[in-house]
Amino acid sequence: MKFLVFFLVFITTLIFLICLWQIVTSDRRKITERLHILSREEKQQEADELSKPLKERILEPFLDTLSGYLSRLMPKAQRSTLKNKLSLAGNPFNLKAHEFMGIQYLTALFACLVAGLIGRIQGMDFKEIAIVAMVAALSGFKLPLLYLKIKSQKRQKQIDYDLPNIIDLLTVSVEAGLGFDAALAKVTVKARGILSDEFRKVLHEIKMGKSRREALKDLINRTGAEELSNFISAVLQADGLGVSMSHILRIQSEQMRRKRRQRAEEEAMKAPIKMLFPMVFFIFPCIFIVLLGPAVIKIFTQLFAN
């Protein structure tokens, strides 16, 4: 009996001590587990960071820091002008104005360093290296702007090329009984390309509460395409005067087709002039060699034989 009582007291004391130990060390164990989890997450984040390409680990943070500094220094007018140029080019790489300015400074710095290194290798003196480096830096600074200009011109050319087909789809849809907004929605579903994407943005802005007139005017500012601007101006004028939209679209479609045919004829008239220089410098010399070569060889043979 005494043994049983002693055993029960021992078990009760042991359970009490275990529970007391768990209570005392619970906070420490939680902290240890949390530190272990944080250490594991930190190692995973470090591995993920190291697995990223060099551009995302170094170049992008540096560019973000530089662009943030430039955004505070850039005048509002310059930022607006650069933003308009980016918009005309289709916002390449989703760059903001200060980010693009940072790229300009980086390209200028890179061009300056490369020009200075080449000048040093060529054995130029300090004055010549400085002049070459300044010219290279200026060229590097203007190079991104040239890229924007070429991209915007290419984009406007593609918009002018797609516009007649888009107007034909709009005309058919409106004549079938759809409203202008519904016809635009149908066009964005059926057509693909830059102009279709721009009309999709117009519909999105209208759904967000912007008026049709403002959304279409913003489209003109985003693209800068002359023919699209004329078409939208005619549509807005017809909408304001209450003229039949299908009639206006039919007239615009015929005008666009006529302009496209005139542009094709103009390019065809330029073709002979563009072909003249390759013919003179590359084709005619080959023809002369083939035709006169044997005769010249025979003449020289006869002369040296005598």
Q: What pLDDT was estimated at residue 279?
A: 81
Q: How confident is the model at residue 147 (pLDDT cuts 50, 70, 90)?
A: very high
Cα separation, 97 vs 218, whole angstroms? 18
Instruction: For residue range 162-178, list pLDDT tens digits in order.
Output: 888 888 888 888 888 88
Q: What pLDDT was estimated at residue 25?
A: 64
Instruction: For residue range 105-138, list pLDDT tens digits in order.
Output: 888 888 888 888 888 888 888 888 888 889 888 9
Q: How confident is the model at residue 76 (pLDDT cuts 50, 70, 90)?
A: confident
Q: What is the chain's mean pLDDT, rounded?
A: 79
Contact 175, 253 (CB under 8 A): no
Q: What pLDDT was estimated at residue 150?
A: 92
Q: How confident is the model at residue 88 (pLDDT cuts 50, 70, 90)?
A: confident
Does position 70 have pLDDT exceeding 70, yes or no?
Answer: no
**What share of the chain has pLDDT > 90, as a percent?**
3
* Token pair of 152 as six digits: 């915007």
Q: What pLDDT was estimated at residue 84?
A: 87
Cα separation, 85 vs 101, whole angstroms? 12
Q: What pLDDT was estimated at residue 48?
A: 60
Does position 200 have pLDDT exceeding 60, yes or no?
Answer: yes
Instruction: For residue range 16-67, list pLDDT tens digits in order.
Output: 666 666 666 666 667 777 777 777 767 666 666 556 665 556 666 666 676 6
Q: Which CATH number does 157-264 carry?
A: 1.20.81
Per domain, the residue ranges of the chain are 56-151, 157-264
Q: What pLDDT was estimated at residue 185?
A: 87
Q: What pLDDT was estimated at residue 59?
A: 62
